[in-house]
Structure 1
Amino acid sequence: MKRSKLVNQLTELLKPFQINDYCPNGLQVEGKVEIQKIVTGVTASQALIDAAVAKQADAVLVHHGYFWKGEDPAVTGYKKRRLQTLLNHDINLLAYHLPLDVHPELGNNAQLGQLLGLTIERPLEPWNKSCVAVKGKLAEPMTVTAFAELIEQRLGRKPLINQAGDHLIKTIAWCTGGGQSFIDMAASQGIDAYLTGEASEQTIHSSNEQNIHFFAAGHHATERYGVKALGEYLAEQYGLDVEFIDIDNPV
């Protein structure tokens, strides 16, 4: 498949032009014109790039790529090594950040919800186009302990839990990755629990003082599923050889 066609298809599917993001979405590093073998992963770390080299991949497709707003633009140290490896092996790097979070079927929030049996009802703030968090419900009410056990079972990761009161979880809001700041929006809407990847010091106070249960299941662990689903979609639709490689990260 031509690189240009793949980029066009991903643009049409994920619509990055509709989202104001913190990094460029799409083709970040140009490699081979023809793409057949793609390695997917959460982050374009050196370990993932090295795995792609070993697999003789033509492209790496990730959720977390490069060139973030506010970072030092100098290409030195590990940044140089990453780019040098990609360029030396003529490997394309494609990255989709917020567009992959919010896609209604293949996105991180959608895929995590599907994995945990959660139904998405609407964006947490439907009037706010920059809001990536979603509001939904559980199929059946659950205790905090039961929901934490479900997370551990499905994600293979024991979550950080803050139980705020004795109420069952019926309604829930969630945002994969580093979405802990959305807990206040969820609390203001009377939602029973909030799930994300990370926690900040103030998150626990927000949970306790606003009577909303909180779960942090890991940035990496909650964002494995969108890029994996996207790769599977590309393989099915276009006959590409796509392999998801999970470079474990405890955060």
Structure 2
Amino acid sequence: MNNVQLEQLLNEKLSPHLIKDYSPNGLQVEGAEQVKKIVTGVTASQALIDYAIKVGADALLVHHGYFWKGEPEPIRGMKGKRIRSLIKHDINLYGYHLPLDIHPELGNNVQLAKLLGIEIDGGLEGHPQSVAMFGHLPSPVSGHEFAQRIAKVLQRTPLHIAPEQSDKLISTVGWCTGGGQDFVELAASQGLDAFISGEISERTTYTAREMGIHYFSAGHHATERYGIKALGEWLAQEHGLEVEFVDIDNPV
């Protein structure tokens, strides 16, 4: 497939033009015109680039790409090495951030809900483009049981901040993969029993305790592996491309 045609295909699926984001979505670094093999992963780190070079990939497709708002503009140091590696080996880099978080079929939030057995009720902010969601469990569980479920699914023990009423059962859940910890206050104000995000801040602990909500920090990387993986599987199944998902270890 032509590299620009691949970008058009991805844009049609993910609709990045509808979302205000912190980085450009789409083809970020242009490489070979023809794309036959794609490596997917969470972040376009040097380790992922090196793997793509090793297996002769024509493209990298990631959730966390480059050129974030507020970052230094010069292409030097670590940033320069990464981009030189891509250009030298004629590898296209495609990045999709918020469009992949919120996609109703392939998105990180939807994929995490499937894995954890959460039935989706809607967007936490009250509209379909919300980057946080809410739903319910088929049957109530304790905070300890839900923490064990997260650990089993993500292969990573979550940090669990329990409310002052620590034996409060969990029936309703809000979540936002990645750095969505500040949605915990909105979730609590809407009466949800629990909230999940990837990252946690110092202030999150007090919010959860004082507002009576279970909070689970399950890891930025760990909660955002599944959208990019699902996107790659869609490309392989629907468009016949050779796609390999690579999970570069990241404990955060």
- TM band (smaller chain): over 0.9
Per the alignment, residue 143 of structure 1 pairs with 142
* In 2, Cα distance between equivalents of 1:208 and 1:242: 44
* In 1, Cα distance between equivalents of 2:66 and 2:127: 30
Q: Is the 8 A contact 2:122 2:128 kept in 1?
A: no
In structure 2, give the amino acid aligned to 1:159. P
* In 2, Cα distance between equivalents of 1:200 and 1:147: 21
RMSD (CA atoms) = 0.9
Q: Which runs of 4+ in 1 moved over 3 A?
A: none
* In 2, Cα distance between equivalents of 1:96 and 1:239: 21
Structure 1 residue matching 2:168: 3-state secondary structure: coil
Per the alignment, residue 177 of structure 1 pairs with 178
* In 1, Cα distance between equivalents of 2:53 and 2:43: 15
In structure 1, give the amino acid aligned to 2:117. G
* Deviation per residue, 1:111-154 (Å, 9 max, x gap): 0000111111100012485x300010112111000000001101
* In 2, Cα distance between equivalents of 1:36 and 1:143: 47
In structure 2, give the amino acid aligned to 1:211. G
In structure 2, give the amino acid aligned to 1:135. F
* In 1, Cα distance between equivalents of 2:160 and 2:54: 39
* In 1, Cα distance between equivalents of 2:26 and 2:148: 36
Per the alignment, residue 157 of structure 1 pairs with 156
Q: Is the 8 A contact 2:194 2:215 kept in 1?
A: yes
Structure 2 residue matching 1:114: 3-state secondary structure: helix
In structure 2, give the amino acid aligned to 1:89. H
In structure 2, give the amino acid aligned to 1:80. G
Unaligned runs of 5+ in 2: none
Per the alignment, residue 202 of structure 1 pairs with 203
What displacement does 1:3 show?
Answer: 1.1
* Deviation per residue, 1:77-131 (Å, 9 max, x gap): 10000000000000000000000000011000000000111111100012485x3
Per the alignment, residue 36 of structure 2 pairs with 36
* In 1, Cα distance between equivalents of 2:79 and 2:41: 18
What does 1:98-137 correspond to in 2, within 5 Å? 98-127=98-127, 129=129, 131-137=130-136
* In 2, Cα distance between equivalents of 1:118 and 1:26: 30
What displacement does 1:188 show?
Answer: 0.9
Change (3 A) 1:127 1:228: closer
TM-score (norm 2): 0.98
Higher deviation after alignment, 118-127 or 78-87: 118-127
* In 1, Cα distance between equivalents of 2:6 and 2:140: 42
Unaligned runs of 5+ in 1: none
Per the alignment, residue 234 of structure 1 pairs with 235
* Deviation per residue, 1:138-183 (Å, 9 max, x gap): 1211100000000110100000001112210000000000100100
* In 2, Cα distance between equivalents of 1:78 and 1:119: 41
What displacement does 1:184 show?
Answer: 0.8
| Percent identical residues | 58
How many residue pairs are counted as aligned between the two chains?
A: 250
Structure 2 residue matching 1:186: 3-state secondary structure: helix
1:214 paired to 2:228: no
What does 1:44-55 correspond to in 2, within 5 Å? 44-55=44-55
